[in-house]
Structure formats: C-alpha cells, structure tokens
Structure 1
Amino acid sequence: MNSLLFTLLIGIGATGVMDAWGVLRKLLFGIPTPNYGMVGRWLAHMTHGQFRHNAIAASARVSGEEVIGWIAHYLTGISFAAILIAVWGNGWIQNPTIVPALLVGIATVAAPFLIMQPGMGAGVAASKTKNPNAARLQSLITHTVFGVGLYASGKAVQLFCSM
C-alpha cells in the first residue's frame, strides 16, 4: 500500500477513534461532544479576513458551517497522521508502534491550545473559559486518545494489508 493511502486511512481512523471517545465521554460523564460547527464558522469567517473572535458562538452563522467544521476536523487528523509518517517514515508504516503515535497525539494538543481556542475566543489553552484546567485536561485526554487511534489505525491497516 502506498504511503499516501496509508496516511489517509490512519488519519481518518484515528480521528474516528477520537470522535468515538467524545461520544463515550458524553455517555459516561455527561461532557458534551465538540461542536465542529463552531470550527466551521471560525474557518468560514477567515475567508472574510476575520481570524479571531471574542466568542465564536456569538459570531454570525455561516451556511454549511457544520459540514465545513467536520471536513476540517478530518483533514486535520489526516495532516497529523502525515506528520507522524513524515517523522518516523516508512518503518513506522511497516511496523506501527505506540510511542511515536502517542507522542504525535499528545503534541497535537498544541493546535487547539495555541491556535483554535485563542482564535475562537477561549484564550490560550482555554484560559478564558469557566474552568480552564478542566478544559485543558479534556483536550489533553482527547489528543492522547487520538494518539492511541493513530496506533490502532496503523495496526489495523497493517493487518488488513497483510491479508
């Protein structure tokens, strides 16, 4: 299997694992699932030159924001999978291991902390939210789950390809 297809599959798979965690987290702990429509709204407003909002939920709705947000969510997961493969190379593709996947997964928490949350009005590392430490912990857990998803998806694709 070529590296591009492998990257797409593990990125989609890992993002799916992260989304499944969001649903499970809601069922077990009552923590709402992420609203990717707000991500879509934020991204759509960028096309008009607005990159930062005081509160993205208070900004004007954008047609198709949910679809835009979900597509961006999965493209981001694929991009993070590409980083994993770029750093660890074809050796990781041939024999996925957990440590590189977890390192990349945990490192990806920098994206919401430093880009998304400030841009959407939540401050750096959710500093402007009602409970910043809880938000930070949930982000860290979710991105760690994404790392587990990178590994699990890599192993699944490897298993499928060896059949």
Structure 2
Amino acid sequence: MLALTDTSTTFFLVLLLGIGATLVMDIWAFALKRLWNIPSLDYALVGRWLAHMPKGILFHQNILNTSPVRFEGFLGWLSHYLTGIIFAAGLVSVVGLDWLVSPTFLPALLFGMATVVFPFFVMQPCFGFGIAASKTPKPMIARSKSLLTHSVFGAGLYFTAWAINLLGNF
C-alpha cells in the first residue's frame, strides 16, 4: 500500500505513472506495427514541429514536406514522454491523490480518451493534417487509431498505478 507522505514522493509517483502509461502506449503501437503492419505516428515529426516553433512556424502546410532538423527524433520522443508525464499529472489533479493509492480503471480510461483532444485540435491541425485528421487520406481510420491509442494510454495509467501499488510502499 502506498503512503503519500510528501511532495517529492507524489512527484516521483506521477513521473513513474506518466512514463509507465506512455510505455504501455508505445508497446501497443509496436505490436500494431509488428503484427499487422499498422504504422503509428513518427515522433520525429513532433520533434520537427517543436524545432520549427522558435523560428515562428507553428502551422505547416504538411509537416512531411517541412525540412527535417537535427535531433528531431530525440526531441520528438522526449516530448512524447514529457507529455505522458504531464497527462498523468493532469489525471491525478482531476481525480485526487487518493487515486494513486487506490486506482480505479474508469477514470484512467476516460481521462486517456479525453487526451485525444490534443492531437485532434492542436497537433494534427498544426501538422497540416486538418482538425481531427480531416485532410488525411483516410480521416476516420486516423481518428479511430488516435482514439484507440489514447484509450490504451488511459488503460496504461491504471495498470501502471496498479503495478506501482503492487511493487512498492512509498
């Protein structure tokens, strides 16, 4: 049973929660690619997007046609995991610290599903893919993949919290 005794413990747990849930999501994406040849987002594109922001470029006609930048892959993967940590902190701030001690599935799943708002209304439009992938060749497939992936992230939040509770007494 976890004991949330101080801020540093809570911070550490949220860090683990975000990393674990993001890792679950990445394992899901790897399995989709390996088993069914279904590709996921190339996080280098996220790095490319972020690297062009200091140049004043937030929106792209199509990020695929934007000049690559040095270390975009590293930057994209780093931001991917940082986003997972921020989302985990968001869940804990919404449901409360007690959830870390006694996690339940539904709040984590629903929160994970709600995070699809970020790619639908921020990233995809900025990448030039339109709101909710409306400018992609198969928008409904892209939307479904995004929603399913963010649902897996939500499940990952729950299972990571459960595993943390099982493995440690913080």
> What interval of TM-score do these two structures reach, taking the shorter chain for normalisation?
over 0.9
Q: Tell me which amino acid in the other structure corresponds to 2:11.
A: L
Q: For residues 11-67 of structure 1, what are the alpha-carbon distances to aligned partners after superposition, in whole Å with 9 as ceiling and x for unaligned? A: 000000000000111122211132000000001100111000011011011111000
Structure 2 residue identity aligned to 1:31 = I
Question: Alignment partner of 1:154: what SS?
Answer: helix
1:1-163 to structure 2, matched below 5 A, reads 2-162=9-169
> Runs (4+) of structure 1 moved beyond 3 Å?
none
- The CA distance in 2 between the partners of 1:43 and 1:51, in whole Å, is 8
Deviations 1:86-122 (A, max 9, x none): 0111110110110110011000000000000000010
Identity, in percent, stands at: 50
Unaligned runs of at least 5 residues, structure 2: none
| SS of equivalent to 2:96 | helix
Root-mean-square deviation (Å):
1.1
CA distance in 2, matches of 1:123, 1:33: 17
Corresponding residue pairs, total: 163
Residue 160 of structure 1: CA displacement?
1.5
State the TM-score, normalizing by the size of structure 2.
0.93
State the alpha-carbon separation in 2 of the partners of residues 158 and 139 from structure 1.
29
